[in-house]
Amino acid sequence: FQKHEFFVDMTCEGCSSAVTRVLHKLGGVNFDIDLPNKKVYIDSEHNVDTLLETLKKTGKNASYLGEKSAQ
């Protein structure tokens, strides 16, 4: 899987749980949420467009930052 890094304008736990909810609904994803830095790291077979559309369903401003090399 490619690990992708996204910016999501999250300000609170409610925002991060909204992100968690939409990603669980999508399925086939492993992800980490970095709330203080407003980043979401996603491992997935889904393409970037699908992931970005999914993140935008939270109503938050979201953008793709690039691929992250797996550690």
> Is residue 8 within 8 Å of residue 15, measured between CB atoms?
yes
Instruction: Return mean pLDDT, the chain.
Output: 93
Q: What is the DSSP letter of 63?
A: E
pLDDT at 37: 97
What architecture is the 3-68 domain classified under in CATH? 2-Layer Sandwich (3.30)
Q: Domain coordinates of the chain in residue numbers?
A: 3-68
Residue 10 sits at the vertex; the CA angle it makes with 18 and 45, to the nearest 5 degrees, is: 60
- Mean pLDDT, 10 residues at a time, over the chain (71 residues)? 90 96 96 97 94 97 87 52
Model pTM score: 0.91
